[in-house]
Structure 1
Amino acid sequence: MNERPDGTADYVSIDGPTALFLAIKGRCGLCAEPIVDVAAFLGGPGAAEAGAYSDPPMHEGCAEAALKLCPHMARQHARRATGSRVPEGSAVPEGFSEAKPEEWVMVLAAGYGTGLMPAEGGGTVPIFLPGSYEGVRRFVYEDGVLIEKTDS
C-alpha cells in the first residue's frame, strides 16, 4: 500500500523502496510499527508454496485489515486498477502472477528475509521471504465475499 499526498490509502500499488526499508528495519509494511512476534504475509497459494511475496511483511491484524479494506482482495469481482490508475513505476517481479487467486493465504512466520528480483519490463523489485512457517490461514470467496476457510 502507498499513501497518497492527502494521507488516504492507495491500495493500487506498493512503494517498493519504502516497503523494503520498513522490512529491513523490522517494521510492518502497512502501519510501520515494529513487528515483534510473527510476521504475516498475504498472497495466493503459489506465493505460500514458493515462500516468496511481493507484498511486505505485516502484523497479523494489519493483514486482516487489508483483507477487509483492499477492494481487490475483499470482493471477488473487484478488478485490479489498470491504465492511468496504476502509479508510474509500479512493477511486478518476473514470474509473479497478477491474476487474482481464488484463495488468499496468510502465512505467519518467525522472521523473514528480503531480496530483489528482476521486474517485468526491466529494473528490480523487492521480494519478501518468510522464515519458518508458524501458521497458515486461508481465505476464500463465498457469494462474492472473502471469508476465512475453516477445517470443519
Structure 2
Amino acid sequence: MPIYHGGHLRHGRCSEPGRLYSITVVTAGRKALFHDFFLGRILVHELHQVEELRLARTLCWVVMPDHLHWLLELGELELSGLLQRVKSRSAKALNQRLGRSGAVWQAGFHDHCLRGDEDVQAVARYIVANPLRAGLVERLSDYPLWDAIWL
C-alpha cells in the first residue's frame, strides 16, 4: 500500500481523476479520538463537504476509533490535495471542539488505486466490515460511523 509523506505523491505514483481509491488515514499517536461519536461526526461532515463540492464521490467509509477508511472516486483535485483538505479541515474542527491545538493526524496516508478487474462492492464490504473484524460490534448495524452508497 503506497504511503504519502508531507502531502506529496511518492515517486512513481499518479493521481487520476475518475479513478477509484481506497484510502486510510490514521490519527496522531493512534489516539482513539473517534470512540466519541460526536468527534467522528465532525470527520464525517468533512467527507460530506468534499462530496458537495464534487472533489470526490464517496462510495463508502468507516470511521474507526483511531483511523478512517474511505473508498472514493477522485474528482479533479489531486489525491494528496484532497487528503490534505480533509485532514486539515477536520483537525481544525476537532481541535476547536476539544479546546486544544496540535496534530490530529499522522503525516501522510495509505492508498490503493483499484484496478479495473477488482470487485468494487467486495472492496466496500471489506472496508465497512472493519468494526466487525476489530471486535467493536457483533453486527454492523450496531456501529454508527459508516456508510455506503449501496444501502
Q: Report which of the two has the higher share of helix.
A: 2
Question: Could you tell me the TM-score, scaled by structure 2's length?
Answer: 0.28
Higher relative contact order structure (alpha carbons within 8 Å, sequence separation ≥ 6): 2
Q: Report which of the two has the higher share of strand.
A: 1
